[in-house]
Amino acid sequence: MHQEIIISGFGGQGALFAGQLMAYAALAEGRHVTWIPSYGPEMRGGTANCTVIISDDEIGSPLVRNPSAAMVMNPPSFERFEPLVQKDGVLIVNASLIATPSKRADIRVIAIPANEIAAELGAAQMANVIMVGALVAATGALKLETLDQILEEHISARHRDKIEANKKALRRGAALA
C-alpha cells in the first residue's frame, strides 16, 4: 500500500491537524510516513495545506506532485488540487463550501456537507475529522480504530471533552464514503 495525500483548506479549518492525525495513525500501524505542512501567512485565513505519504515500503521522496487522494476544504484548494489527483484517485470535497462540481470522470469524487454535519454533531471545528473519516474509508489507508487511539493520545487537554464527538465524526465521514 502506498498513498500520497494532499489535505488543504483555509487556515483554521484544521487541515494540518487532519494530516498530523493521519501521520500519527500511520506510525501507530507500523507504516512508513511523511508529513509536510505548508503554512506561512496562510494561517491567517489563506489556504494552508499539508502532504501525507503512507506506505508499507520506504518512501523515496516526501514530495507529492500527483496525489492518489486529496481532501479539499475550500474553493481555492479545490481549484488548485482537483486537477492534480491521479487517475483513479479519490477527491474528498467539503460540499458545504465548494459548490463547483468536479469535471473529472477519471477520479472518485466524494462530496460531503462537512460543516453542516459538524454543526449537527455540536462542534463546527470537526468538519476536518468528518472528512478524514471519509478519506480513510475511501482509500483504506488506515483503520478507524487506530485514529480513535490517536485522538485519545494527541488531543490537547483543553479539547479532551470533544474526543467522543470526534470519534463520532470519523464514523459519520466513513459512512458517507
The per-residue pLDDT for 40 is 58
The per-residue pLDDT for 39 is 66
The per-residue pLDDT for 4 is 96
The per-residue pLDDT for 79 is 94
Q: What is the pLDDT along the chain (177 residues), one digit of tens a residue?
A: 899 999 999 888 889 999 999 999 999 999 999 999 986 554 555 678 999 999 999 998 888 889 999 999 999 999 999 999 999 999 999 999 999 999 999 999 999 999 999 999 888 889 999 999 999 999 999 999 999 999 888 877 777 777 888 899 999 999 998
The per-residue pLDDT for 86 is 96
Question: What Å distances lie between residue 134 and 18, 42, 81, 94, CA to CA?
Answer: 12, 25, 18, 11
The per-residue pLDDT for 110 is 97
Give me 7's grid cell.
489535505
Helices (H), the chain: 15-28, 75-81, 114-121, 127-139, 144-154, 163-176
Fold for 2-176, please state it: Pyruvate-ferredoxin Oxidoreductase; domain 3 (3.40.920)
Domain boundaries, the chain: 2-176
pTM of the model: 0.90
Give me 81's grid cell.
488540487
SS3 99: coil
SS3 156: coil
**How far is 104 from 174, CA to CA, in rounded Å?**
22
At 123, give phi and psi (nearest 5°): -155, 110
